[in-house]
């Protein structure tokens, strides 16, 4: 009986209202909505901070917007650099901004071909299952006081879950059972081992700098942004992000001209649409992580009218800046060879990341003293 009472209390409107996103600008409207019986409950649920994190920022809504925007932006930017126009025809007055949506629709109506040699259950399941490690980290990333799950171990959890993504990609390549997918999978595995250690070391360096792994605390401690405290770690993190999201010049597992999209070569229709967005979603998460660790997350001068939304906007802008920087790389670099990328990460980057850890440790000791 006690348990049922607790449960009812946990899903009650009052419980949601205790921990709600406050936006002074539209507070009268929200107050009015809250008084309407059913609508009020839904509004309270959406504005409940964990649910807000899940649905609005950094969750679903922002993710969709970012996906829509960054694919368009990347194509548009590349086109401008290359003396072209880029996406234009769909929603012409807005410069073709919903091109990605149109492509998605087209993917929906295309046939999904499952070839004879594929391991059918895995081939179909994995592109959907991969969204678990891709989307789960969003729950732990805070924007001001808005966070899905608040835990002192947020940073290790996010890094651990992000590290799971390549395992799924390798599984996808294995299930595809094709030559190009096989080569791409091997390359993905090699790259995974190569960037993972510098990546984790740079995160460890930042944990040492702040003396905590709680992301909310990390953001609060950054009166000086982390990129100034430990620029070496920021550099390593940025390069690891390029490798992890297989952007040029490290677009090695998916090299179009060599192995025709590597692990994803056999997918078609909406399945291809799903696997294609994985890299962008991973890029979004790592950009969020970078803005939390190095750019001060939701910090910025407060906007009183927006209340809790101000950190959200600051964080969104910082994340987009990182993503735009990543998108820019595509039009200036050629692809490195696998052995060159491996040499770079196993020698230079490993050394630099060790230096980053040393800097982090020195800062930690200085703080303690």
Site for other proteins, rule CB under 8 A: 78, 81-84, 179, 248-249, 251, 255-258, 260, 330-340
Q: Give backbone dihedrals phi and psi of 108, rounded to 5 degrees, phi first.
A: -60, -35
CA dist., res. 267 & res. 276, Å (int) = 10
The smaller minimum CB distance to other proteins, of residues 132 and 332, is found at: 332
Measured distance CA(202)–CA(90) in Å, rounded: 42
SS3 48: strand
CA dihedral 83→88→89→94, nearest 10 degrees, is -150
Length of the chain: 369
Shortest Cβ distance from residue 348 to other proteins (Å)? 13
Pair 139, 52: CB distance under 8 Å: no
Residue (2 or 111) nearer to other proteins, CB: 111
The answer to whether the CB of 67 falls within 8 A of the CB of 100 is yes
Q: Which two tokens stand for residue 211?
A: 């003396």
In the complex, least distance from residue 344 CB atom to other proteins, rounded to whole angstroms: 9
Report the candidate in 272, 275, 276, 197 with the shortest Cα–Cα distance to residue 237: 197
**Beta carbon nearer to other proteins, 201 or 255:** 255
Q: Which is nearer to other proteins, 161 or 344 (CB)?
A: 344
Name the residue nearer to other proteins (CB basis): 183 or 283.
183
Please state the closest distance from residue 350 (CB atom) to other proteins, in A. Answer: 19
Alpha-carbon distances of 357 from 166, 168, 230, 345, 353, rounded to whole Å:
25, 29, 9, 16, 6
Least distance between other proteins and beta carbon 265 (Å): 10
Return the number of the residue (194 or 201) whose C-beta is nearest other proteins: 194
Give me the least distance between CB of 184 and other proteins, in Å please: 12
Looking at beta carbons only, is 106 or 179 nearer to other proteins?
A: 179
| Residue 75 Cβ vs other proteins, minimum distance, rounded to whole Å | 11
Report, in Å, the least distance between residue 195 CB and other proteins.
17
Contact 274, 128 (CB under 8 A): yes
Q: Which of 257, 233, 129, 289 is nearest to 184 (CA)?
A: 257
């Amino acid at each position: 009986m006690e348990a049922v009472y607790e449960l009812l209390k946990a899903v009650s409107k009052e419980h949601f209202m205790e921990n709600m996103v406050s936006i002074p600008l539209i507070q009268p409207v929200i107050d009015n909505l809250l008084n309407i019986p059913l609508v009020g409950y839904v509004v309270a649920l959406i504005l409940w901070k964990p649910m807000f994190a899940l649905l609005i920022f950094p969750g679903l809504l922002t993710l969709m917007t970012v996906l829509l925007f960054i694919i368009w932006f990347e194509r548009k930017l590349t086109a401008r650099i290359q003396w072209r126009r880029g996406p234009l025809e769909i929603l012409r007055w807005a410069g073709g901004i919903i091109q990605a949506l149109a492509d998605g629709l087209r993917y929906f109506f295309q046939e999904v071909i499952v070839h004879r040699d594929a391991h059918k259950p895995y081939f179909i399941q994995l592109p959907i299952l991969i969204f678990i490690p891709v989307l789960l980290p969003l729950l732990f990333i805070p924007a001001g006081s808005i966070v899905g799950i608040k835990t002192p171990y947020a940073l290790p959890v996010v890094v651990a879950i992000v590290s799971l993504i390549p395992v799924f990609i390798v599984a996808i390549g294995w299930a595809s059972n094709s030559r190009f997918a096989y080569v791409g999978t091997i390359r993905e595995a090699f790259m995974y081992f190569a960037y993972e250690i510098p990546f984790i070391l740079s995160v460890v360096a930042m944990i040492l700098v702040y003396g905590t792994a709680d992301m909310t605390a990390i953001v609060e401690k950054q009166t000086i942004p982390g990129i100034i405290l430990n620029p070496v770690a920021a550099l390593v993190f940025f390069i690891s992000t390029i490798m992890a999201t297989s952007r040029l010049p490290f677009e090695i597992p998916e090299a179009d001209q060599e192995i025709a999209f590597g692990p994803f070569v056999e997918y078609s229709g909406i399945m291809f649409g799903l696997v294609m967005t994985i890299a962008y979603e991973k890029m979004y998460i790592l950009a969020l992580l970078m803005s939390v660790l190095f750019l001060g997350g939701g910090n910025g001068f407060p906007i009183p009218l927006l209340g809790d939304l101000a950190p959200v906007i600051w964080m969104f802008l910082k994340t987009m800046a990182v993503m735009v920087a990543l998108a820019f790389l595509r039009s200036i670099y050629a692809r490195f060879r696998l052995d060159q990328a491996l040499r770079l990460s196993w020698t230079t980057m490993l050394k630099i990341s060790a230096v980053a850890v040393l800097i982090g440790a020195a800062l930690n000791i200085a703080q303690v003293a």
